[in-house]
Amino acid sequence: MSDSDTVDQFHGAYSRAIKFMTHRQKTTKEMRDYLLKKGYDLKIVEKVINRLYEFDFLNDYNFAKEYVYSKVFNTNTPIGPKRIRLELKHKGIDKEIIDKIVNDISHEEEMDLAKKLICKKNIEIVDLKVKRKLAVYLERRGFSEDAILKLLNIW
């Protein structure tokens, strides 16, 4: 492959990457997978990813922060820290970044979010069966066992 072919491939891959990012931020993994699927050489893909990082178009830490904000604090049906960890891991975010971002969610915030979900359900917790159903629901939403038990004991 000549130098001009490599340059042309780089520009084509870079243009595709920019178009791919128009609707929302992407993770490094999402970008790498997308460009490889489109048939670009791994060396070209890595160069494009490095360039996107240089211009701060691609940033896994910022992606994770925005993702947590949108899924936890800016929604009517928030998810808990355990589910956030799982979803970010599936998106290819580094464990250190996940730990830093998720550890910023305080226990009080987690309790408030779980309480918001319980209130949204708008049901009376009168017996053990209802408490179990709510506990399973909150667990599926990614809340810690500790937060679930504390909340259900208050009700």
For residue range 89-141, list pLDDT tens digits in order. 999 999 999 999 999 989 999 999 998 888 887 777 777 888 899 999 999 99
Q: Give per-residue pLDDT as tens, 17-47.
A: 999 999 899 999 999 999 999 999 999 999 9
Q: How far apart are CA 16 and CA 20, in angstroms?
A: 6
The conformation of residue 73, written as its DSSP 8-state character, comes to I
Pick the residue with more confidence: 121 or 83? 83
State whether 103 and 30 are in the same domain.
Answer: no
State whether 110 and 136 are in the same domain.
Answer: yes
pLDDT of residue 1: 54
State whether 119 and 142 are in the same domain.
Answer: yes
Q: How far apart are CA 95 and CA 50, in angstroms?
A: 20
Looking at residue 4, its amino acid is S
Q: Report the predicted TM-score, pTM, of the whole model to 2 decimal places.
A: 0.83
pLDDT of residue 32: 97
Contact, 28 vs 60, CB < 8 A? yes
Q: Which of 1-10, 77-86, 111-120 has the highest mean pLDDT?
A: 77-86
State whether 135 and 69 are in the same domain.
Answer: yes
Q: How far apart are CA 134 and CA 144, in angstroms?
A: 13
| Domain boundaries, position 20 | 3-58
Looking at residue 41, its amino acid is D
pLDDT of residue 142: 95
Pick the residue with more confidence: 6 or 10? 10
State whether 24 and 69 are in the same domain.
Answer: no
State whether 38 and 88 are in the same domain.
Answer: no
pLDDT of residue 34: 97
Question: Average pLDDT in the 135-152 region?
Answer: 92
